[in-house]
Amino acid sequence: MTLEQRKKAFEFIDLHKDEMLCLLKELVTTESDTRNKNSVDNLAQKLKEILCSIGMNTRIVEYKNSGNSIVAESASNKCKKGVILSGHMDTVFKKGTLENMPFKIENDKIYGPGVLDMKGGIIIALYVIKALNSIEYNERPIKVIISGDEETGHCNSKCNELFINESKGFGAAFNFETGFLDNGVIVGRKGVAEFSLEIEGISAHAGNSPEKGRSAIQEMAYKIIDIQNLNNLKNGTTFNVGTITGGTVPNAIPDYAKIEIDVRYTKLSEKSSIENTLQSIASKTYIEGTKSKLKVKSYMPPMETTDDVMKLFEFAKKTSAEIGLGDIYSKTTGGGSDASYIVTAGVPALCAMGVKGEWNHTPREYGIVESLFERAKLIIACILNLDEYLK
């Protein structure tokens, strides 16, 4: 890398700020509710066209029961290990949210459904590529992976496998999830496991023949206590019974109950013991005549803080200081992201490299305008100087 190359790439970003914001508006106003396959697929097609227009060999990976995903690759030098730019295009917001939560820019903040999580991050990735194209960069291949069902944990697709298979052999990755206002960069995330537990009992009239009933809710109550007692804050493994349904009317012994369980864990090696422990609880019977069934809904592995991840972070930290964007610091969090699959594939990744902001997943979601441009420059500088990291 030469300083002149970096300067010209930065100038490209400076000259296209308005264009970046206009395209961000277009993406945000193209709603992509993770539960609405058609809306996600519509955005996937739009992004494919954009990526093709900037010279990326792009394909849509189709899934029957979830939003499609995108893989795009540059035709750069394949003799050197490449760089992955990753994220997701689906949002948690239902179609029609724009009516009460329109895209707008006020007081240097951008508002709108998914502007922070994480369509702003997609814009950063696109303009990193455009800026590198403007200086004819071809030192390393660049691959873009954008999932269409991250918000549901890929429970209805094999996108988790897509991330692992497409990432293998690459040198570094940057995932553009929500950036933090305090300049924190994620070097580790907990894994996320989602389960459901259903119990069948025997219904009966609560007044006339209660002795004939077997309460599914009562059985579930015992099991909920067992599950909550599994929490281990010391090692960071947490169990949360987040929803419960069951019964029909107050005067009937309930013959059905269901809970949904969220588990967060720090080590990939914990996965089997978590499932085995929950299965043991499901297999135990407190109320004779009830039956329990545990179902695994989804797994997202932890993004483990490996030595290579920390090496990449130190490189990015040095780069950020060199280009005048201040110190970044490393942090871990309990929320999952697709960076976990990339690290599982053996590729060091940094996460939360997207637009900085707050309140994602809420009507107050917003991003900081200037961070859109700052993060693009940071990634550009990292890619241009990647020989220093991968030497």
CATH code, domain carrying 246:
3.30.70.360
Q: Are residues 261 and 367 in the same domain?
A: no
Q: Are residues 51 and 182 in the same domain?
A: yes
Quick: pLDDT tens for 165-201: 999 999 999 999 999 999 999 999 999 999 999 999 9
Do β-strands 142-147 and 83-88 pair in parallel, antiparallel, or remain unpaired? parallel
Residue closest to 10 by CA, chosen among 381, 364, 390: 381
User: Could you say which of 283, 300, 317 is where a domain stops?
Assistant: 300
pLDDT, position 132: 97
User: Could you say which of 233, 265, 300 is where a domain stops?
Assistant: 300
Q: How far apart are CA 332 and CA 340, in angstroms?
A: 12
Q: Which residue range forms the structural domain that includes residue 254?
A: 191-300
User: Could you say which of 300, 324, 347 is where a domain stops?
Assistant: 300
The whole-model pTM stands at 0.90
Q: Are residues 339 and 265 in the same domain?
A: no
CA dihedral (178, 183, 186, 190) in degrees, to 10, reads -70
Q: Are residues 196 and 183 in the same domain?
A: no
Q: Are residues 267 and 321 in the same domain?
A: no
Q: How far apart are CA 305 and CA 189, in angstroms?
A: 8
Q: What is the domain count for the chain?
A: 2
Q: Are residues 205 and 288 in the same domain?
A: yes
**DSSP characters over 246-299:** E-S-TTEE--EEEEEEEEEES-GGGHHHHHHHHHHHHH--SSTT-EEEEEEEEE
Q: Are residues 160 and 65 in the same domain?
A: yes
pLDDT, position 1: 63
Quick: pLDDT tens for 295-341: 999 888 999 999 999 999 999 999 999 999 999 999 999 988 999 99
H or E element, residue 311: helix 307-322
Q: Which residues are designated catalytic?
A: 90, 150
